[in-house]
A and B are shown apart, each in its own frame.
Chain A
Amino acid sequence: MSELSRTGYQTDKMWVTMGPQHPFSHGLWTLRVKVDGEYILDAEPEVGYLHRGWEKECENRTYAKIIPMADRLCYSASMTWSHLYCKVAEEALDVELPERAQYLRVIADEICRIQSHLMWLAALGTDLGSLTIFLWCLREREFFLDLNVRLCGQRLTTNYPRIGGVRNDMPYYFERDCMRVVTRFEKALWDIINLTDESTVFVNRLKGISYLTRKQVANLGITGPAMRGCGVDYDIRRDDPYAAYDKLDFEVPVLKEGDAYARYMVRIEEMFQSCELIRQAFNALQKIPKTSPYRLKVSRNIPEGTHMARIEDPRGDAMMYLVSDGTGSPYRLKVRSPVFVNVSASKAMLEGCRVADIPAVMAMIDMCLGETDR
């Protein structure tokens, strides 16, 4: 613990166990914290309650059967996970996606990002004791889930990307519906911001806690909005572009403050940028003939070799590493989950905070246990 932090109590040190069933944990995991009075000296997360052996299960399945499994890695970011899986298989097959599929994937990914961030904001609201934020965010999120239903027939486990493209073209009137939702949301998000940012209680509970430096963040492997709130200017969508992101114009919000409030602001701004991306993607889609293909026919077997693909998940840097042996199912498929690494850094995030800050700090990781434990 640094000399600057306040440790005035000098009481007996005590380990407190929070979880696996605890309102702040958003899933099954345990956080053990060592406290000195109100102040946290040490923290130790324990995960693994949901370990299903996902990677091993994949070795038993054909490549096509893994797509719906990839959806189940994270309930609120299912689209990016199945996209990532399809992307690693495409890299292995060495195919270039049809342009139409590239834009459809961007649209689907950004809808997923907005609804995932809304789920996070809703959860943050309840963590900080405001049920209104929760209800307002979930109401807005419902419109995006409706878009998912229009596009792929499912609200959460979308099963939309396919190896070599997407399952179906967008339905009739999807663009109109999508633009209506996005335009509405850009106004509604300001209402939510007025609810959060104008609330002194909300802001005071986030500002000035859990400072991380740029160097710490890079070394601890924290990625995603939590990293960009600490001054690391890095986004895979821009720096290592995939799908159609290199043809679209967007900004990556980066803040140098490094506290929990900065991480919150980065996510809010990301939602605005996602709206912009959806709008641009539709404009680009209009220039592509309606009859152009949205899916390639690809081989069932993937040639021998090792392949790596990464993607900007709503929670950070997601990566899959595929070892194929030329048969119809993978030899090994490794999943790098952003939350798995972010939560391992809880000690650095929590040191010096108070017990009451734990929900606010851990909410900034946006826990999702499905992808953490795999």
Chain B
Amino acid sequence: MPDDAMIEAPTRTDAEALIKGKFGSKVVFRETTKKNSKGDNEGRRLYIDTDRDTLYELCQYIHDRLNFEHIIAVTGVDWVDHMQTVYHIVNYLTAMVIEVTVDIPNDDPHVRSVTDIWEGANWHERETYELFGIIFDNHPKLERLLTPKSYEFYPFRKSYKLRGQPDE
């Protein structure tokens, strides 16, 4: 099989082996510890940690080679000492979900946008930008979406306290 041929419905083992072969030590696979609630949903979940320089290349590979056509969501998480973006990507034929996690330092909150791979990530990235202040490079229109344009703060960061939340 040629190197750039698309595998339409890769199994979890296939996908893991291919990604490992291509990216080597740049990706770390996490195992699920769940036993009762169907564990990894019968091989339909794959958890990957990577760094932000590899992210775009990895996403392109997942999209072009492994036929993961649809992105469910882009999520931001504020871990106080660093930020994180989480990508859930799905293959329609196997219903397998790949979860890609990327750590982003607080002092340089930039990450490459994946909107040019999946158009569906567009608004999720805008939302993550306005609520967490994570900047997606190469995004076609990185503007505030849900909050007013006059906001100068990022309400979903842990430093933004709600009424009733302890100040610590």
Whether both chains belong to one complex is answered with: yes
Q: A48-B145, A91-B34, A94-B36 are in contact. Are A221 and B88 (CB under 8 A)?
A: no
Q: A56-B156, A94-B35 are in contact. Are A341 and B120 (CB under 8 A)?
A: yes
- B36 contact set on A, CB distance < 8 A: 94-96
- A95 contact set on B, CB distance < 8 A: 36-37
Task: List chain B positions with a Cβ less than 8 A from chain A.
Answer: 33-38, 41, 44-45, 69-73, 75, 77-78, 86, 88, 92, 95, 97, 99, 118-124, 145-148, 155-156, 160, 162, 164-165
Task: List chain A positions with a Cβ less than 8 A from chain B.
Answer: 47-48, 51, 53, 55-57, 59-60, 90-91, 93-96, 215, 218-223, 232-234, 236, 239-240, 305-306, 308, 310, 317, 319, 321, 323, 331-332, 334, 336, 340-341, 344-345, 373-374
Tell which of B35, B88, B155 touches A308, judged by Cβ atoms closer than 8 Å.
B88
Tell which of B38, B75, B92, B164 touches A334, judged by Cβ atoms closer than 8 Å.
B75
- When chains A and B are docked, how far (Å) is the Cα of A240 from the Cα of B41? 8
29 A-B contact pairs sorted by A residue (CB < 8 Å): A47-B146, A48-B147, A48-B148, A53-B155, A53-B162, A60-B165, A91-B34, A94-B37, A95-B37, A96-B36, A218-B70, A219-B69, A220-B120, A221-B70, A221-B119, A222-B120, A240-B95, A308-B45, A308-B99, A310-B97, A319-B73, A319-B88, A321-B75, A336-B88, A341-B123, A344-B122, A345-B119, A373-B146, A374-B146
Contact call B72/A319, Cβ cutoff below 8 A: yes
Interface secondary structure of B, over-half rule: loop
Q: A221-B71, A240-B41, A341-B123 are in contact. Are A321 and B34 (CB under 8 A)?
A: no
- When chains A and B are docked, how far (Å) is the Cα of A95 from the Cα of B147? 37
- When chains A and B are docked, how far (Å) is the Cα of A222 from the Cα of B164? 38
Tell which of B41, B77, B78, B147 touches A51, judged by Cβ atoms closer than 8 Å.
B147
Contact call A344/B92, Cβ cutoff below 8 A: no
Q: How far is the CB of A239 from chain B (nearest CB, A)?
A: 4
- A221 contact set on B, CB distance < 8 A: 70-72, 118-121
- B95 contact set on A, CB distance < 8 A: 234, 236, 239-240
Between A59, A96, A323, A332, the greatest number of chain B beta carbons within 10 A of the residue's beta carbon is seen for: A332
Q: A47-B145, A221-B71, A321-B88 are in contact. Are A308 and B97 (CB under 8 A)?
A: yes
- When chains A and B are docked, how far (Å) is the Cα of A240 from the Cα of B148? 38
Contact call A219/B120, Cβ cutoff below 8 A: yes
Known: A59-B165, A221-B71, A317-B72. 12 other contacts (CB 8 A): A48-B146, A60-B165, A90-B37, A94-B33, A219-B69, A219-B119, A220-B120, A221-B70, A223-B70, A240-B97, A334-B75, A341-B123
- When chains A and B are docked, how far (Å) is the Cα of A344 from the Cα of B33? 36
- When chains A and B are docked, how far (Å) is the Cα of A317 from the Cα of B97? 13
Between B37, B121, B124, B147, the greatest number of chain A beta carbons within 10 A of the residue's beta carbon is seen for: B37
- When chains A and B are docked, how far (Å) is the Cα of A267 from the Cα of B114? 31
Q: A48-B145, A341-B123 are in contact. Are A56 and B118 (CB under 8 A)?
A: no
- A91 contact set on B, CB distance < 8 A: 34, 37
- When chains A and B are docked, how far (Å) is the Cα of A234 from the Cα of B95? 8
Contact call A340/B37, Cβ cutoff below 8 A: no
- When chains A and B are docked, how far (Å) is the Cα of A220 from the Cα of B116? 11
- B73 contact set on A, CB distance < 8 A: 319, 321, 334, 336
- B97 contact set on A, CB distance < 8 A: 240, 308, 310
CB nearest to A307 among chain B residues = B34
Contact call A218/B69, Cβ cutoff below 8 A: yes
- When chains A and B are docked, how far (Å) is the Cα of A96 from the Cα of B119? 36
- When chains A and B are docked, how far (Å) is the Cα of A310 from the Cα of B75? 14
Q: How far is the CB of B60 from chain A (nearest CB, A)?
A: 13
- B120 contact set on A, CB distance < 8 A: 219-222, 341, 344-345
- B124 contact set on A, CB distance < 8 A: 336, 341
Q: How far is the CB of A177 from chain B (nearest CB, A)?
A: 32
CB nearest to B141 among chain A residues = A44
- A53 contact set on B, CB distance < 8 A: 155-156, 162
CB nearest to B120 among chain A residues = A221
